[in-house]
Structure 1
């Protein structure tokens, strides 16, 4: 990938103070994009991402905003344009998840998962598209989904529902805005070694479970950031409505896992 393919372009990445969003913001900045680093509740982490980008010669600002609020997302877009002059790339990465069986779930957490993960993606898609249409130069939007979109992982119904909705959302949007030169694609990261995973599992569990994935480990945020940048890259201008699965083989049939025999 050309290191300056995003020169002169502005990218907005939601939920980019940590994890996959952080890696995506840095990957885009390394390729020349000016980046809006969005965070909800960790300003110090967002400031660290901005500092990392600036130390590498890039440009970035941090902007607070809860993506479940459409007005807050519209403000993110406005801040991007006010600071850097345009919005050319948008990455919906922010997500939330509680893990409980649906019939025992705290419905406040259940709704919060959908509000952030599904509606947050729609809010960015909506606001970014409107700005790109106004500019008239096309653009690239990537929605970060998950194998949860098609694997019914237990204790994650709200998250599963949200990611499945994101996939249809992106594909429908891709059809509706193709004539305007706006590309909408999907990235499906598999099990990735991020701070958020510590909410559900210990380090020991993550390592032992990662060893059972066909490729023998969890993915890294940097690998997912590279995949997101790939989908947004102008060189890949014939890709829209596409799904890029980056999961180390975790979604392969169970007999594909290490140590398992094929049936039959």
Structure 2
């Protein structure tokens, strides 16, 4: 009998994380929905269970290393293994460089960058310990490559996620563990909608092939494909999930 995979998805209360949780569960994986937002996370779990899937909510603050380590340990306690770690939780981190709110800067670094690092380390250690050929997927962004005004901290974190993914992939490859970054473009999430009032949303929409923002579920489906064993040659890579956004100036 084939063992069901176990996927941990941070930021699972909304946006890409929620959609990824729904997709993984619909394919038969058992899902740990992890988020600081308990109400949203429990709603995701309820939607999975109503559709006949299996999921558990674990509250986590990804900026806290001990909390992320506990998340991985509790996952193994609940389901006995961990096959996929999707480090997806993140915030916008807007603000111009010379007018940077340093509290927001440090919060953005703590969640978007340190949170991913903690997830890579905790999941990587556990996969190695259990002898699981797992995959760690990290949410980067086209803004890890492209500069835009007013998002100084966000750019810094997404550039870091890209290089952390490459570095971790190199070191974890001998243990049969893949590490991949996915780089969404203009995705219709609460973070992107927050740019509606300053004109940036229209600018982003104009750069997407087809003229519409990418749906979170489209990104989620791509993440699922990258997670499959058939994608064994994809590691240390940045998979662009941007509808051509990065192809435009």
Bin for the TM-score computed over the shorter chain = over 0.9
- Report the more deviating stretch, 222-231 or 195-204: 195-204
Counting only pairs closer than 5 Å after superposition, residues 58-207 of structure 1 correspond to structure 2 as 58-202=53-197, 206=201
Q: For the aligned residues, what is the CA RMSD?
A: 1.8
SS at structure 1 position matched to 2:196: coil
Q: Give the match for residue 240 of structure 1.
A: 235
Moved segments of 4+, more than 6 Å = none
Q: Distance in 2 between matches of 1:53 and 1:33?
A: 11
Displacement of 1:96 after TM fit?
1.6
Larger radius of gyration: 1
How many correspondences in the alignment? 248
Cα 1:182–1:209 shift into 2, 3 Å: closer
1:76-102 CA distance string (max 9 Å, x none): 111211111111100010112231111
1:8 matched to 2:36? The reply is no
Displacement of 1:209 after TM fit?
4.7
Cα 1:248–1:203 shift into 2, 3 Å: farther
Cα 1:203–1:57 shift into 2, 3 Å: farther
1:120-139 CA distance string (max 9 Å, x none): 00000000001001101220
Contact 2:187 2:215 in 1 (8 A): yes
Q: Distance in 2 between matches of 1:232 and 1:208?
A: 32
Displacement of 1:7 after TM fit?
5.6
Displacement of 1:238 after TM fit?
2.1
Contact 1:185 1:239 in 2 (8 A): yes
1:201-234 CA distance string (max 9 Å, x none): 2599746752453321100000000111111111
Q: Equivalent of 1:20, from 16, 37, 48?
A: 16
Q: What is the TM-score with the length of structure 2 in the denominator?
A: 0.94
The unaligned stretches of length 5 or more in structure 2 are none
Q: Distance in 2 between matches of 1:133 and 1:88?
A: 11
Q: What is the TM-score with the length of structure 1 in the denominator?
A: 0.89
- Report the more deviating stretch, 177-186 or 93-102: 93-102
1:37 matched to 2:41? The reply is no
